Amino acid sequence: MLGRTANGLYWMFRYIERAENSARLVDAGLRMSLTRSHLGEDNWESVLQSSGVIDIYEQRYESATSADAVDFLLRETTNPSSVLSCIEAARSNARMVRTALTRETWEAVNECYLDLKSMLARRVKAADLPEVIDAIKRKTGLIRGAFHGTMLRNDLFNFSRIGTFIERADNTARILDVKYYVLLPAVSQVGTAIDNVQWESILRSVSAHRSYGWVYEAEYKAANIADFLILNGRMPRSLAYCYDKINSNLGYLEREYGERHNAHDTSGNTLKSLRNCSIKDVMDQGLHEYIETFITQNNRLSQEISDGYRFY
C-alpha cells in the first residue's frame, strides 16, 4: 500500500478520535467546575494546558474564561485540535483515501461533518453543551461502528486502528493530567466527598463510571481509578488496552509486509512496561511525571510509525 494512503487512513482516524477527545475534555472541565466553581479561570486554563493548546489560546484571548475556552475547544478554526477543525481534517483525509473506504464508512464521516458543522456554526449556549457533547460522541462512534462492521481486516484496517489507539491513549493520559493540574484539591480535601465527586466526574468523562463499579466495589479512590485508566487491560480507554491493540495491529503489519521497524520495539517495550508495572510504582514516580513520560513516548511511537511506513 502507498505510504500516502496509509498516512491518510492513520490521520483520518486520529482526527476522528481527537474530535471526540476534545469534547470529552470539555466535559471533564464542565463537571469539575460544578464541584469547584471558586476556581474560575484557573480551571479552564489547566484544561487548555492539558489539551496542549494553551499557547495558541493565549495568542487570541487575554484570559481563560469558561465561554471562551469552551468555544476554543469546540469550534475555533485556528485551534487544530478543536472539534470542528478535527472533523474537517478527518473528512479531508477521508476524501483523499475515498477508494480505500467502504461506502458506509464514507457516508458516516460525511454525515458527521455536515451535522457538526451545522451544530457548531455559532457559539454553543451553556444550557446546550451537554447535548452537543453527547452528539459529538455519538456521531464519531457511528463512524467507528460503520468502519468495524464493513472494512476488510487488512493493512488498511490496521493503520486505521493504530491511529485510533495512539490518539486514545494520548487522550486518556491528558484527562488524568487534568485531574492533576486542575482538579486535585488541597491536601486537606483528599479523600473527602469533594475529591470523590471529582474522580467520579473523570470516570464519566471517559465513559468508565459503570465499568469501574464492576471492578472496584469500594468507594472512589485515586489509586484505584489511576490503576483502572492506566493499567487495566480490559478497560477500552486505558493505556494498557490501547497499547495491546497497537502492538497487535503492528504485529499484523510486520507479518504482512515482512518488515520490522523501530516502532515495533517501542510499542512492545511500552506494552511490557504497562503489564509489569504496578499502580504503586506509578504513584511513587508521581502521577504527573508518569503521564508526561508516557505522552512523550506515545509521540515518539507516532513519529517512528510515520518514518517506518513512509507517510509521505
19 Cβ neighbours under 8 A, 6+ residues apart: 83, 86, 87, 90, 116, 136, 140
When mean pLDDT is compared across 20-24, 37-41, 202-206, 220-224, the lowest value belongs to 37-41
The answer to whether the CB of 155 falls within 8 A of the CB of 6 is yes
Q: CA–CA distance from 14 to each of 8, 82, 83, 172, 251 (Å)? A: 10, 13, 12, 14, 20
62 Cβ neighbours under 8 A, 6+ residues apart: none
Which comes out higher in pLDDT, residue 226 or 243?
Answer: 243
Task: Using pLDDT thresholds of 50, 70 and 90, give the confidence band for residue 188.
Answer: very low
Q: What is the mean pLDDT of residues 96-109?
A: 96
**What's the pLDDT score for residue 150?**
97
**pLDDT tens, position by position, 110-126:** 999 999 999 999 999 98
Cα distance from N-terminal residue to C-terminal residue, the chain: 12
Q: What is the mean pLDDT of residues 147-166?
A: 96
Cell numbers at residue 219, please?
A: 468507594
Tell which residue, 35, 173, 172, 15, has the closest CA to residue 97: 15
Distance between CA 245 and CA 74 in Å, rounded? 28
Which comes out higher in pLDDT, residue 289 or 197?
Answer: 289
**What's the pLDDT score for residue 196?**
64
**What's the pLDDT score for residue 38?**
53
**What's the pLDDT score for residue 186?**
47
- Is 187 a residue whose pLDDT tops 50? no
* Mean pLDDT value across the chain: 89
**What's the pLDDT score for residue 194?**
55
Domain ranges of the chain: 3-308
**What's the pLDDT score for residue 45?**
82
When mean pLDDT is compared across 4-18, 161-175, 196-210, 290-304, the lowest value belongs to 196-210
Q: What is the mean pLDDT of residues 79-108?
A: 96
